[in-house]
Amino acid sequence: MKIYIAGSSLERERYREAIRGIEDRITFNWDAHLTLHENATDSERRVLFESASQRCLAGVLSADAFVLLIPKTKSHGAWFEAGVAYGARIPIYAVGYGNVDIWGEAFTQSFRTMADCIEYLG
């Protein structure tokens, strides 16, 4: 099963912990992409952002399951990607807690921890 994991780019360590041991199942590792380009110049940033956006969307659409690490910090991308997954009818699995009242019915299943989610997904 191929998995896309979305989360806040401000919580990259949380993402790294989430993918540990399942890297071969991830459709796109957006953290690795960001890490490769941390020292980009301002003029390079827009091109890199567009590239990352396209790869993230391709990763979402090629996944069998979408996992949302419910952001504890500001995040536009993770919620946008969740909307794409929802529109593409890809099952959405939420990990963590937060103010997600409007999304509750969109989630296939919610989990307290990533380990619980991965155990469920098999």
In the chain, the number of structural domains is 1
Instruction: Tell me the pLDDT tens digit for each residue of 54-98.
Output: 999 999 999 999 999 998 888 889 999 999 999 999 999 999 876
Q: What pLDDT does residue 23 have? A: 96
> pLDDT > 90: what percent of the chain?
63
CATH of the domain at 61: 3.40.50.450
Length of the chain in residues, anyone? Answer: 122
Angle, nearest 10°, between helix axes 42-61 and 77-87? 30
Structural domain range at position 86 = 3-121
- 0.95 surpassed by pTM: no
Q: 76-90 burial, b if ≥16 CB within 10 A, otherwise e?
A: ebbeebbebbeeeeb
Average pLDDT over residues 111-122: 94
Instruction: Tell me the pLDDT tens digit for each residue of 43-56.
Output: 887 788 788 889 99
Q: What pLDDT does residue 45 have? A: 76
